[in-house]
Structure 1
Amino acid sequence: MHDNTSFDVPTVDISPYLADTPDPAACAEVAAQLDRACRDVGFVQIVGHGIPESVQADLAAALDEFFALPIDTKKAYRRPGENRGYAPPKSESLSMSLGVASASAMNDFYEAITVGSEASDFPGLDLPEVSYPHNTWPVAAPSFREPVEEYFCRAQALSRTLMRAFTDALELEAGYFDTLVDHSIEVLKMNNYALPESEIEMADDLTGMGAHTDFGILTVLWADRVPGLQVLGGDGRWHDVQPAEGALLVNLGDALARWTNDRWRSTIHRVDPPVVDGRIVRRRSAAFFFDGNHDAVIETLPGCVAAGETGYPPITVAENIAAKLAGMKGGVAPAGLREAERVLAAHT
């Protein structure tokens, strides 16, 4: 059952944090709005984010150029087991990142191409290749790289602005997260929901992208304004979400949930096959994952464990990501996750 009753993804204008001389009162109001959104929903619509429409349009054109290539050409950029390169349809299962099996092992029908931060981006640091692998840029799509890199840089800057606002919202001292994100793992996963636009009979086990939480600190999502994205509400039901005009969707990842001991939750979400009037429609998205330093230890923040509560055990960012990727790409399910219990308890 898909029900939107009493469910709303709030919209927050973060432009006060982007002002040349930020006004403390205006920033405090933004921080309070973000705190409410992160407590109540875990998703927020961001406006006043400073990423021009032209940059977003160029990103969309880059996606179109790459995904229009023949499947065999795209597969030349495949890197199985790594969080880089091309992933063809039905090669991943995001629900398995939580240890929740779908009807068939690898049934997510989206295709994707992923790029991210490389070890060479941080000269002087001896960073592990497994967390900061080199990128594979598709030379068969010559106009792809430049607009993708431009959007990547813009999303990086936006993520760091959001970290300043989150620091205020959590009432932490200024710069608290700086040493935890100064060589952050950052990944841009560009998705194409790859079934052709057509009338189809929906199979019961067909999923666009299985139910999952994101792995890192936060995610900035650009997406077409078409159906598909669904968020698991506190009522245990799935609710449809589409980005508002001019907005980017931001959601929390597992690292922030663990840091705050679920004061802020990494909200479970999925993508159903995008269907309008009985027809599959095209849906594109680009998720920028701001994950934190590979060696940053995730342990409960000051003030986030009440008397009688137990915090999450410490884990590094890299360990947390590795466990989730093993499930998503290799079908090796992580055990004992709080998020998995919420997925299994959800109404369908």
Structure 2
Amino acid sequence: MDKPEPGDAFVVPTVDISAYVGAGSATARRDVARAIDDACATVGFIQIVGHGIPDTVIEGLTSAVDDFFGLRPDDKKRYRVPGANRGYTAPKTESLSLSAGVESASRMNDFFEAFNVGVEARSFAGLDLDEADYGINLWPDIDGYRARIEAYFQAAQRVARTLTRIFADALGEEPDFFERLTDHSIDVLRMNNYALPPGTDVTLDGDLTGMGEHTDFGIVTVLWADRVRGLQVLARDGSWHDVEPADGALLVNLGDLTARLTNDRWMSTLHRVKPPVVDGTIERRRSVAFFHDGNADAVISTLASHLEYDNGLAYEPITVTDHIAAKLAGSRGGKLNSAAVREATRVLQAAEK
């Protein structure tokens, strides 16, 4: 079902992480870690407050998003970067469901448009990293755009690293456990616009897909989004539920690599976007996802403490770069990701309900 039944108890938990942002007591931090563990083990999506990002930084972000997506289509297309996880993505040139191992009825049919920036290999002096694993940014020629985006990027990166510090406590690992996996992390900021630009070949009378069902690729995602319906999350019982961010909150969800670490005790939750049609027009929705994906050369293996989960069938070890390459080959390259067996099974089971 697409919407919860009356009386449905599905809730995305809200957690105040301010004890980790400031100088919180050991007791306060323990309570936060316990709440995060419970949210990750039951839903996989979390509303976080107390994140410490100033309103002015959010306002700078949203104005920059509007400035770019307000450009003429031909001007936006100048910022396409073929074959890289950077730059502009036009509507109907991706199919996120393929990254989750699900063959969609119509390939490359997601109608969102996006713009990506991120860290570059040269950002980490002395490590001799491959730019092919990271990417080179292409900045729009818009006054003040880069400064506004970089201000938010740095703030979201801080939040992501705060979350992984909480994750370490919640999992009973050493405080620097995630630092060892993320000290030269592939971090990407993806700005999404769900609207229909003039001349777009999308009809309103079909099954509209803003963004197909998928899991996120890395360790953790920090999402700012408009308070507009569209985002839907797949619960563990196979039902889809609408999710909107609370006022002032950021949405957080786990990625595949954290699911691998915990053998799906903390699940990489499937989600999709289906913006509503109001008076014959798709209601515009914006979102900005910060993907904290881990070091390209890091090897992700199931934690010894979690081998007992999922009937003892642990994931095979994989490098971050190999995992992300397989996922991007699906979403952006149109190649079905045959390795995403667990994700595809959950999508197909949900479709049968």
State the TM-score bracket (shorter-chain normalisation): over 0.9
CA apart distance, 1:101? 2.0
Equivalent residues in 2 for 1:271-310 (5 A)? 271-276=273-278, 279-306=281-308, 309-310=312-313
Q: Match of 1:80?
A: 82
Q: Identify the range of structure 1 (221-230 vs 128-137) with the bigger mean alpha-carbon deviation.
A: 128-137
CA apart distance, 1:6? 1.8
* 8 Å contact from structure 1 (residues 43, 251) kept in 2: yes
* 8 Å contact from structure 1 (residues 65, 143) kept in 2: no
CA apart distance, 1:194? 2.4
Q: String of CA shifts for 1:117-143, please: whole Å, max 9, x gaps.
A: 00111010111111121100011x223
CA apart distance, 1:248? 0.1
Aligned equivalents of 1:258 and 1:40: distance in 2?
Answer: 16
Q: Match of 1:313?
A: 316
334, 337, 341: which one pairs with 2:337?
334
* 8 Å contact from structure 2 (residues 168, 177) kept in 1: yes
Q: Match of 2:248?
A: 246
222, 225, 247: which one pairs with 1:223?
225
Q: 1:44 to 1:276 in 2, by over 3 A?
A: farther
CA apart distance, 1:302? 2.6
Q: Unaligned regions of 5+ residues in structure 2, if any?
A: none
State the SS of the aligned residue for 2:104: coil
Q: 1:6 to 1:160 in 2, by over 3 A?
A: same
98, 101, 108: which one pairs with 1:99?
101
Aligned equivalents of 2:279 and 2:171: distance in 1?
Answer: 43
114, 117, 129: which one pairs with 2:116?
114
Aligned equivalents of 1:275 and 1:231: distance in 2?
Answer: 19
CA apart distance, 1:301? 1.1
Aligned equivalents of 1:18 and 1:277: distance in 2?
Answer: 43
- The alignment status of 1:90 with 2:96, answered yes or no, reads no
How many residues of Structure 1 are paired with residues of Structure 2 in the alignment? 344
Q: TM-score, normalised by structure 2?
A: 0.94
Aligned equivalents of 1:62 and 1:146: distance in 2?
Answer: 9
Aligned equivalents of 1:238 and 1:74: distance in 2?
Answer: 33
State the SS of the aligned residue for 2:224: strand
Equivalent residues in 2 for 1:106-185 (5 A)? 106-139=108-141, 141-185=142-186
CA apart distance, 1:273? 2.5
CA apart distance, 1:144? 1.5
Counterpart amino acid of 1:338?
R
State the SS of the aligned residue for 2:41: helix
- Percent of aligned positions that are identical: 60
* 8 Å contact from structure 2 (residues 99, 330) kept in 1: yes
CA apart distance, 1:334? 1.5
CA apart distance, 1:80? 2.0
CA apart distance, 1:109? 0.3
Q: Match of 1:14?
A: 17
* 8 Å contact from structure 2 (residues 160, 292) kept in 1: yes
State the SS of the aligned residue for 1:338: helix
Aligned equivalents of 2:102 and 2:66: distance in 1?
Answer: 32
* 8 Å contact from structure 1 (residues 228, 275) kept in 2: no
RMSD after superposition? 1.5
Aligned equivalents of 2:207 and 2:130: distance in 1?
Answer: 38
* 8 Å contact from structure 1 (residues 62, 147) kept in 2: yes
Aligned equivalents of 1:283 and 1:297: distance in 2?
Answer: 36
Aligned equivalents of 2:278 and 2:72: distance in 1?
Answer: 26
Aligned equivalents of 1:82 and 1:132: distance in 2?
Answer: 9
* 8 Å contact from structure 2 (residues 18, 24) kept in 1: no
Aligned equivalents of 1:217 and 1:178: distance in 2?
Answer: 12
Q: Match of 2:328?
A: 325
Q: TM-score, normalised by structure 1?
A: 0.96
Q: 1:74 to 1:201 in 2, by over 3 A?
A: closer
State the SS of the aligned residue for 2:241: strand
* 8 Å contact from structure 1 (residues 103, 205) kept in 2: no
Aligned equivalents of 1:321 and 1:52: distance in 2?
Answer: 31
